[in-house]
Each structure stands twice: as structure tokens, then as C-alpha cells.
């Protein structure tokens, strides 16, 4: 079974998210809005399908990274999230919450051995790049 298929997003805390977004936009050309930036790409194993990776700043006091005290979170794209969560539970990996489903995919959060929060994302099929 394939597990991680790529990076879905990089999220980090900062003192002033708006100022950071503006700095990254001005100095590095990152097209950041208040919701961060999304990079679209074609899948290597099937270039007719597209994918995306998100980059987003969060305020220092965000609760979104809890229970981790770390200032960052990485989102990994995965296939078959339900099966992966079952395997992780068998291996005594801490699964923080239940699988949540949204229009853009399924999500769950786990902790690595050092307490880093990891977001696992099974994206819904994204439209073909040709569309």
C-alpha cells in the first residue's frame, strides 16, 4: 500500500501572519493571500491529473497545531486514509482525532515520536489538468 504520496502543505506560526505573507509576496514572489498560497502541479505518474501544495502562516496563538507545542505542521498527501489510520493504530501511533471529510478531501492528525503534529490528507480526485 502506498502511504505518503507527497507534501500537501507547510504551515507555520509567526508573530504577524499578514506581514509575513506580504514579505514573502514582495521578496520571494509567493502569491500569498490571507489564506496563504497554493501551488498547483501535474502528477508525475499521470500528468493529466493535477495536484496542489499549500503554504500558510498562522498566528502564534493558533490552536490548530494542538496538542503539539511546535511552531509548524506539515501536511502529507496520502492514499486510502482509512486503511493507513488502521495501520497506524496497530503500530501504536497516536491518532489525535477522527477522520474528517470535506469537499476537498479527508483529514486526520497524528503525532510523531517527538510530538510534532502531522496532518494526513487524502485529497478528492482533482480535475484533470487539461480541464
- pLDDT, residue 129, reads 43
- pLDDT band per the 50, 70, 90 thresholds, residue 35: confident
Q: What's residue 43's pLDDT?
A: 82
Q: What is the DSSP letter of 26?
A: H
Instruction: Give the residue with greater pLDDT, 34 vs 94.
Output: 94
86 burial level (CB within 10 Å; 0-12, 13-18, 19+): exposed
Q: Which of 33-37, 101-105, 108-112 has the lowest mean pLDDT?
A: 33-37
What percent of the chain has a predicted confidence (pLDDT) above 90? 76
For residue 56, what are the contacts with CB-CB under 8 A and spacing of at least 6? 9, 10, 11, 35, 36, 37
pLDDT computed for residue 53 by the predictor: 94
Helices (H), 36-100: 81-90
Tens of pLDDT along 49-74? 888 999 999 999 999 999 999 999 99
The CATH classification number of 9-28+36-71+80-123 equals 3.10.180.10
Q: pTM score, two decimals?
A: 0.87
User: In sequence order, what are the beta bridge partners of 81?
Assistant: none
**pLDDT for 126 beyond 70:** no
CB 106 within 8 A of CB 81: yes
Amino acid at each position: 500500500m502506498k502511504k505518503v504520496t507527497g507534501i500537501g502543505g507547510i504551515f507555520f506560526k509567526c508573530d504577524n501572519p499578514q506581514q509575513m505573507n506580504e514579505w514573502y509576496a514582495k521578496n520571494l514572489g509567493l502569491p500569498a493571500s490571507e489564506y496563504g498560497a497554493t501551488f498547483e502541479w501535474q502528477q508525475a505518474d499521470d500528468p493529466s491529473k493535477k495536484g496542489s501544495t499549500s503554504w500558510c502562516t498562522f498566528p502564534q496563538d493558533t490552536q490548530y497545531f494542538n496538542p503539539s507545542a511546535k511552531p509548524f505542521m506539515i501536511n502529507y498527501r496520502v492514499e486510502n486514509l482509512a486503511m493507513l489510520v488502521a495501520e497506524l493504530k496497530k503500530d501504536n501511533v497516536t491518532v489525535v482525532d477522527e477522520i474528517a471529510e470535506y469537499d476537498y478531501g479527508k483529514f486526520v492528525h497524528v503525532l510523531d515520536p517527538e510530538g510534532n503534529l502531522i496532518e494526513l490528507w487524502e485529497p478528492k480526485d482533482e480535475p484533470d489538468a487539461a480541464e
